[in-house]
Amino acid sequence: MAPEIQSLFPSSTAVLLLLGACLSAAAVAALGAADDASRPAVPLPGGGARRVLFANGLGLTPQMGWNSWNHFQCDINEAVVRRTADALVATGLAKAGYKYVNLDDCWADYQRTKEGYMIANPKTFPSGIKALADYVHSKGLKLGIYSSAGTRTCSNRMPGSLGHEDKDAKTFASWGVDYLKYDNCYRDGTPETVRFGRMSRALKNSGRPIFYSLCEWGYMEVPKWGGMYGNSWRTTGDIIDTWSGMLDNIDRNDAYARYAKPGGWNDPDMLEVGNGGMAYNEYVVHFSLWAIAKFKCSVLSTHARGKSSLIDSSSCVPIVFGADRMGVQGNKVKKYGNDLEVWAGQLSRHRKAVLLLNRGATRSASITAAWPDVGIRRGVTVEARDVWKHETLPGRFTGSLTAVVGPHSCKLFVLTPVPR
């Protein structure tokens, strides 16, 4: 890795090991490299296709990219964003599918112009968003932006889009924006279905396909109606960079697994990998759960020794799972007591993703994935590939797969049927 690129990464050995392990998986799965817009409807077993209700041609696999919030919060500027775009390309993450470079809150000036337009903060984004979008596009990437379905955004440092939906959507389109994260602060009492629906219509009429991410926080059971308006929807409150906080978000998200589909995805919030609140093995669990749940395989920002740094927040398992065009969200299928769990999800070519999770803090445990629990027919024989070790286990398995899993750890497998 070139020194100028290496300086963008934190010094944490654990994070660098994650990066190396994940990037090597790109060769394992030549999946999902094409733009979403070029993908056809996803066929289902037995014929037919999943219907995309919000049909803008985007999000047929979960979005992958970088977002500024979880580390930088309001401390962002155009130089950080440009360096991030450079690093996504230089490290090979862009080629692996990490296309979105997303600004979160605090990018705009405090007030609108006298004509009612939102503009970039002249101190932190002096070149403007159009110039930034042009730069990001020149790297083969896509630019995302942020607003709120209220009078102000959550930081209260910039205006929201309530009452300005059409003007803002057309402004974003004129700048070349490709993605909108739409938050839920400073609302006026109008139902979420109305306020988020207004922006949905405005984006459709903006003249540009823009990925629409509803950050509605799981109010009003958003998975049941989010697909009529957007490409993804938050099923939870903001993630907390702790073991219990991470698990709480994925558990809430799991309740709505059946509503995820190509074109519309459940969102348990962004990955926290590298931000320092969890241990290495806990971040591996975080990666793996988000991947098997088919969402938010994002690259997040972090900081090290005063330098802006880039963390790969999941380029291994998402390439295998998130970019899999089957488009079925995996979910929790079996519990053994309070701590031991089996998660499973359907992949293309009759494969299964299986995750064995030990939530306990003190001891290793043996966990079994039985074929009836993970959706494999009795009598079927499989090969098992360990996703994190990039190894195929010796022998073949019929009826079940058992592994010993350490505390606060998981093991993640792809099971592929083989002739007996």
- Please tell me the distance from the alpha carbon of residue 91 to that of residue 100, in angstroms, as a whole number: 15
- Please tell me the distance from the alpha carbon of residue 400 to that of residue 413, in angstroms, as a whole number: 12
42, 60 Cβ separation under 8 angstroms: yes
- Please tell me the distance from the alpha carbon of residue 61 to that of residue 232, in angstroms, as a whole number: 11
Active site residues: 183, 238
Token pair of 68, please? Answer: 């500024």
- Please tell me the distance from the alpha carbon of residue 345 to that of residue 331, in angstroms, as a whole number: 6
| DSSP helix/strand/coil, 342 | strand
Task: Report the candidate in 64, 33, 36 with the shortest Cα–Cα distance to residue 52.
Answer: 36
H or E stretch covering 19: helix 13-23
Residue 59 has φ and ψ, to the nearest 5°, of: 70, 25
DSSP for 271-310 reads --TTSSSS-HHHHHHHHHHHHHTT----EEEEEETTEEEE
